Chain A
């Protein structure tokens, strides 16, 4: 009995001993893990927090003040006055309306053209790769430089073309007409984005299984039926991405706006991003401009989130 007891006791002591050791090891390991976690994440987080998170919070704070941006001058707390004011400001509302029109027009143009290009270069043509590269090319050139190239085309080059060809009703200086300036913006943005969404549609078309297409062919479907009944439903995920990209990119457009029209003529093509830029750095209304920037953020977030939600739901239905 006592002998047995002794063994048990010894076994128990051994167990606790190794248990303590194990626990110590675990604590050590956990501490080490924490140190590694910090080492791997802190450099990125540090830059991210100082550049994105803190300015975002300060930005919300500034939007409740009236301030001209000069450090020596006082910031006056005005509560929601900035926000109340911007909903009654004609220029801001016009800018929001123009941006909406622009977004809708480019949404259609970019996707129709991009999808058509994708369908063209996924045929079995031998030139498809060369042409694909051509369509994608404008996307690599920055919006600022694209805008400058087209500014020349829509102004002086169009004037000269009008003189040479006689079609003066099309070839005139588009930059002095508010309506045509907006069309010019749509054309340049579409020119830049169509090749980009084309790439995404190509990837989508490439992932459609061969046998589905074969089956449709065997069933006697013509080109149009194959396109609308087979290709389009299976491209729903690509539609989600492309619609999202074109809406959010056109809503936030700035570079092309700055270089092509500069917001003119007479602020007729001043998009929201530019309106905010001008309010803050042009008119030095830092607080008021920042309240516009916050509303801009809310709009961008709302549009993209609803749009993703809607298209995601459609995907499931299909």
Chain B
């Protein structure tokens, strides 16, 4: 009796999971259908798997170009956020004075500021830097990455800070007596210990930066520089009535996410659980 009940519950839960993902199914099947077939029944499987809309969407979205742009921006931003924020957080934990407390509290407090409050003055200020100092902050990948470091710092420092507090100082003190520099101590002894939280920071930042739309839409204007969300938005604006083409385009954008999820699922779920404590 109990076994049957458990089997039924398991069946029900799997069915629920499949229903939950039905939008993905609808997107997928309709990306293969021609117009007539699509309007006959949106839920049915396609009569044939025709990849012509994919080829078309790939070209119209500049998919490969925007994929590599997204990849570059996400990877470089994440690496630099990890590099700088971990160093900063360590220094703030190990320096016990008012200044480091003040800096840390500022990081935490600014997590409350929504992006919409900063976007306009940020663009003005970056424009000023470009005009006055000649540093191309706008419409360059470098400028965008710099902004991601600034925006990502608060959360990363916060997460590292909490983690580092739980690491005993004794190891570092022993190395200090052996004459190691702070730089050496951090990179050789401390940073390897931070691996679990580094994974969390990377996961959270990858999800955020890969999917971010508003900031890159304000910073990047050249077609050749666009990230995936930007090219999706402009593609969708043009082909909104051609649903099959649009669905093929959307499927393309989801493929990298699915691969990332399949490859790092355990880390992702752990990272999200650990990072949510903010």
Contact = CB atoms under 8 A, between A and B. Distances in A.
Interface residues on B, range: 35 or more
A56 B119 CA distance: 9
Interface string B93-113: 001000010010011001011
B273 A148 contact: no
Interface in B204-236: 207, 210-214, 229, 232-233, 236
Given A40-B182, A55-B122, A47 B149 contact: yes
Interface in A138-189: 138-145, 148-150, 152-153, 156-157, 160-161, 164
A52 B211 contact: no
B121 interface: yes
Of A132, A136, A140, A272, most B-chain CB atoms within 10 Å: A140
B87 interface: yes
B92 A41 contact: yes
B164 to A, nearest CB: 12
A152 B26 contact: yes
Contacts of A83: none
A134 B20 contact: yes
Interface in A104-150: 120-121, 123-128, 130-145, 148-150
A44 B87 contact: yes
Interface residues on A, range: 35 or more
7 tightest Cβ-Cβ pairs between the two chains A and B? A51-B150, A142-B211, A134-B17, A40-B91, A47-B150, A58-B121, A55-B121
26 contacts: A39-B183, A40-B88, A40-B91, A41-B103, A44-B149, A47-B147, A52-B153, A53-B110, A56-B117, A62-B121, A125-B9, A135-B17, A140-B268, A141-B211, A141-B257, A144-B233, A148-B232, A160-B39, A196-B276, A255-B214, A259-B233, A259-B236, A277-B214, A286-B120, A289-B120, A300-B114
Interface of A: 33, 36-37, 39-41, 43-45, 47-56, 58-59, 62, 69, 120-121, 123-128, 130-145, 148-150, 152-153, 156-157, 160-161, 164, 191, 196, 199-200, 202-203, 241, 245, 252, 254-255, 258-259, 272-273, 276-277, 280-281, 286, 289-290, 293-294, 296-297, 300-301, 304-305
